[in-house]
Amino acid sequence: MALRRIRFFSLILVFNQGGIISFPHSLGGRGAALVTLGLGFLIYQFYSANLMSFLLNVPMTVISTVNELLEARFEIGCEDILYNRDFLKYENSSIIREVLNRLQLKNGSGFLKPEKGLAWVKKGQYAFHVELSTAYSIIKDQFDEKTICELKEIPMFPVKQMHANYQKLSPFKDLIDVW
């Protein structure tokens, strides 16, 4: 009975990575001890990794729309190009109107050069609307990798469906159609 208890506690110690009190002499016992050690190791590693990933994953606030950006109280700027000025001036959306109001509160106009606007973004809590082709080259040169990973693109312009009307079997369809 005492030998059975020792073997049982030895099995528990092996499973919990505590070592073996009495090493088995038979080939089957050694195989069982080896399998138990392996399974105990795998379960321990899985549990540790699962616990660490839970502790390291801090929930982020994900902003994905212009409305959420406005609610987060970010300061807002915009690249100084004619298209942006016209869009903000003539768009009827209440969200875009709020963006324009915030732009005008900032520095009279809120329209900045891309380098200056992205420098504000780098400091934090600042959203800047800029052409992607312009922004990517500036970001690549001036931002470090950690800051680049924290950036997020949010589309400001609504997606508008574009189409062209053609006469049936028209040869112009092949010239203009992109699909």
Residue pLDDT, tens place only, 94-121: 888 888 888 766 656 678 899 998 998 8
| β-pair partners for 129 | 78
* Interval 135-167: pLDDT, tens: 999 999 999 888 888 888 888 877 777 777 777
In this structure, is residue 118 part of a structural domain? yes
CA distance 143 to 139: 5
Q: Are residues 87 and 121 in the same domain?
A: yes
Percent of the chain surpassing pLDDT 70: 79
Percent of the chain surpassing pLDDT 90: 7
Question: Which pLDDT score is estimated for 105?
Answer: 66
Q: Are residues 36 and 81 in the same domain?
A: no
What lies within 8 Å, CB to CB, of 13 at 6+ separation is: 19, 20, 21
Q: What domain count does the chain have? A: 2
137/3: higher pLDDT = 137
Q: Are residues 38 and 74 in the same domain?
A: no
Specify the CATH number for the domain of residue 134: 3.40.190.10
**Residues 97 and 90: beta-carbon distance below 8 Å:** no
In this structure, is residue 138 part of a structural domain? yes
Q: Are residues 52 and 103 in the same domain?
A: no
In this structure, is residue 24 part of a structural domain? yes
* CA nearest neighbour of 153 among 173, 177, 172, 136: 136
Overall pTM surpassing 0.75 (yes/no): no
Within 34-96, strands assigned E span 75-79
Q: Are residues 70 and 36 in the same domain?
A: no
Q: Are residues 84 and 142 in the same domain?
A: yes
Q: Which domain holds residue 20?
A: 2-56
Q: Are residues 34 and 88 in the same domain?
A: no
